Amino acid sequence: MPDHEGESSGFLLLDKAPGQTSFEALGPVKRALATGKVGHTGTLDKFASGLLVVLAGRALRLSPWVSHCDKGYVGTVLFGEETDTLDPEGSTVARAPVPPLELLEEVLPRFRGEILQAPPLYSAIHLDGRRASERARSGENPAMKKRPVTIYELSLLSWTPPLAQIRVRCSGGVYIRSLARDIALACGSRAYLRELRRVTVAGFSVEDALPPEDLMPGARVLLPLDRAFFKALGMPCFEGDLSLLSPLIHGRPLGPLLAGLELKDSPDTKETPAAVFAGEQFAAVVKRSGDGDWSYGYVFAGH
C-alpha cells in the first residue's frame, strides 16, 4: 500500500527470537523496507520470544487499536526461587519450597477473571517521569501500584517439578512475570518466569509470523490493511463506496456519511471502534463518542 511519500504502509507478523529486544528485532524489518517508520505494538521482554505485530508507514497511527488487544502466551515457571527481575536475567532474591501439584491446581483458579496485579519493578512502567526499571537499577525500590487486568484463560499444560508450563490468554497490560510471582506466593513458594512465548495477539497467530532472519533488503513483506486485518482485531467495518473518500478526508460530520451503511460484524458493545472502507480502500477508523454518536479516530485516506 504505497504512501504519497513513496514509502509503504501496512503490517507484518514477526516472530521475535529470545535474546534480542523488541527494538532490535525491528532492525531487519527496517532494512527490508528501507525505512525507519516501523514500530511494534507491544513489547516482549528480551528473554521472551514470539509474536510482534509490526506496523509500517502511516499504519503506525493504528498502534493504539492493536497494542490494547488480548494476547496469548505459553510460559515456563520455575518454582523454588525468585529473581529481582522475575525472569532468568535477574539475580536470586528469595528461595522457598517447591509446592505440590495439588496446591498449584488449587491456587490457579484464583487468577482467572478480573484480578489486581502489580507490574514488575523491572518494567517500562513510568513512575514520576522515569521508568520503574531505571529507578530499580539506581537502587530505588518504589511501590508498584496494583491495577485491574483480566485473565481469560489460565491452564497448566505440564508439571515437572520445579517447572510448570502454563497457557495464558489475557487482556492487554498483563505481565506474565508478575503472574508467575503471584501464583508462587499464593502457594507459599517463590518463582520466576524462565521462558515465555507470545503465541497470539487478538486474532493473529505466531504460526503465520516471519522470523527476522528471513527478511531480506527489498523483500515485499508488508500485508495490506484489508478487512481481514480489522476482523483479526475484532473491529467491525462500515462498507461504503468511493464517494466516501472526499468527505472523510475533509472531516465532514459522520452521522450523515455513515447513515444507511452496512456495519459488518457489528459487536454487542457500543464501545468497539469500527473501520470504514470506501470500496476496497481502507479509509478511516471511527469510534463512539459519549452520546453514542460516531466520531473520528484516524483518517487514513488522503494523507
The reported pLDDT for the residue numbered 271 is: 74
45 catalytic residue (yes or no): yes
- At 114 the three-state DSSP class reads strand
On whether the CB atoms of residues 105 and 99 are closer than 8 A, the answer is: no
What digits encode the pLDDT tens for the residues 86-136? 999 999 999 999 999 999 999 999 999 999 999 888 766 665 666 656 665
What digits encode the pLDDT tens for the residues 57-88? 999 999 999 998 999 999 999 999 999 999 99
On whether the CB atoms of residues 222 and 11 are closer than 8 A, the answer is: yes
From the list 138, 137, 53, 25, the residue with the least C-alpha distance to 89 is: 137
On whether the CB atoms of residues 194 and 85 are closer than 8 A, the answer is: no
Pairing of strands 191-201, 49-56: parallel
pTM: 0.91
The reported pLDDT for the residue numbered 6 is: 46
C-alpha angle 233/45/203, rounded to 5°? 15
Residue with cell string 516471519: 210
Residue-level pLDDT, tens digit, the chain, 303 residues? 445 444 689 999 999 999 999 999 999 999 999 888 999 988 899 999 999 999 999 999 999 999 989 999 999 999 999 999 999 999 999 999 999 999 999 999 999 999 999 988 876 666 566 665 666 576 667 677 899 999 999 999 999 999 999 999 999 999 999 999 999 999 999 999 999 999 999 999 999 999 988 888 887 889 999 999 999 999 999 999 999 999 999 999 998 999 988 887 776 666 789 999 999 999 999 998 767 789 999 999 876
Domain boundaries, the chain: 10-69+203-211, 71-201, 227-299
Grid cell at residue 46: 528480551
Residue 99 backbone class (left: φ over 0; alpha: ψ -120 to 50; beta: rest) = beta
* Integer Cα distance of 254 and 270 in angstroms: 16
CATH architecture of structural domain 10-69+203-211: 2-Layer Sandwich (3.30)
CATH superfamily of 71-201: Pseudouridine synthase (3.30.2350.10)
Catalytic entry in 15, 45, 87, 182? 45
Q: Is 270 exposed, middle or buried (0-12, 13-18, 19+ CB in 10 A)?
A: exposed
